[in-house]
Each structure stands twice: as structure tokens, then as C-alpha cells.
Amino acid sequence: MGVLTGQMAPIFSAPAIINGNEMVEAFSLDQFIGQKYVVFFFYPADFTFVCPTELLAFQKKIAEFEKRNVAVVGCSTDSQFSHWKWLNTEITDGGIKGVKYPIISDQSKIISENFDVLAGSYNYTEQGELVFQGAPMAYRGLFLIDKEGVVQHMVVNSMSLGRSVDETLRMVDALQYFEKHGEVCPADWHTGDDAIQASPEGIAKYLKKHN
């Protein structure tokens, strides 16, 4: 598994569903560079079990992301038609109706490969046949991308482990606090907590107060 933290997020253009029901053919994260932070997350598949809980949880907190100037974008290897159907299926029937942020289709699996979250890979057999080994879908990867297009935080879960939306918000707050104040954020930092001046004196002062 590669580490993208500190690097520019991979560039792509792909079909997506936006606003819950509108298909677009060429959605890209480049539109947010210089404008917004991005939380870009992968999930394994539409119409599954853990996935709807995550997508609905992000929608429930979407106002919190928006007030922090963060765009939330989802992605899986399903088609845009599958996304559209899922987005227009009632929650009581296993759908995610009400989710409005963009969901990208990565049917080619190129985006998942470039972000290094694909749960399998293409290989040749001894007979020279190209086959896919593993699961042709993405792990639960999440990338916090700053306004310059640089990945500042990433986490990758197995398919059975759902992520914490509150932890994602905490990481956004920590990044934005550091950018504004230049102070680094210690373990379990939340807005309003003490941060640390990045110096020997700063860490000594912090540890003396909190230990």
C-alpha cells in the first residue's frame, strides 16, 4: 500500500452523479484546487451493508464540512448508473436517497489503482491470459486534500470496518488550525484544546501542563 500523504493527489476525470440525480461525464477534483479542501473517500460497492451507513453519515454531517469549506466526494468501482439507482432508492429499501454530494464512478479501476486502494490487481497467468486477482473493488480509503491539491491525511480500512465521520472532521479542524496558527496539534486534539508551539520549549510547556 502506497503512502500519498505529502504528495499531490492523483489527477483524474470520470463520470459521476452530483446533487443526487444528475449525471456528469467528466468530474474532477481539480475544480477545487485553490478553492476548497476535499475529503475524497472510496467505498467497496453500492447496495451493500456497511457502505450505506458511511455515505449517509457523511450526508448527515455535510453542513459541518461545508462550513469548514470542505467538499465531500465519494467513489466506488460501480457504474454511474448503479450510483444513480442507489441514490434514488429509499433508505428503507437499502438505498441512500438524500445523499447530495458527488459520487464518482471508477469502473475502469484506474482511480482506485492510482490512489492505491484497489483490493486486487491484474496479472498474467502462465498461459498469458490477463486475469484479475483479488476483489475488483476499493478498500475504504479516505484522503484529506488541502486547497493546493496536496494529500495531508489518509486512512485505509478493510471492507468490514466502517470509518468515523467525526474523526474526519477532527482532522480537518487540526489541519486548518495548523495552517492558521502554525501550532501543531497533539494526540486527541479537538477545537478549543491547547496546541503546541513547534519547539523544544513548546513541547516542554505542553507536557508540563498536561502530564
Catalytically active residues are 51
Rounded to 10 degrees, the C-alpha dihedral 2/180/60/154 comes to 10
CA distance linking residue 171 with residue 127, whole number of Å: 48
Residue 207 is which amino acid?
L
Closest CA to 53 of 20, 88, 95, 90: 95
- Using a 10 angstrom Cβ sphere, with 0-12 exposed, 13-18 middle and 19 or more buried, the burial of residue 197 is middle
Beta bridge partners of 184: 196
Closest CA to 101 of 74, 75, 76, 77: 74
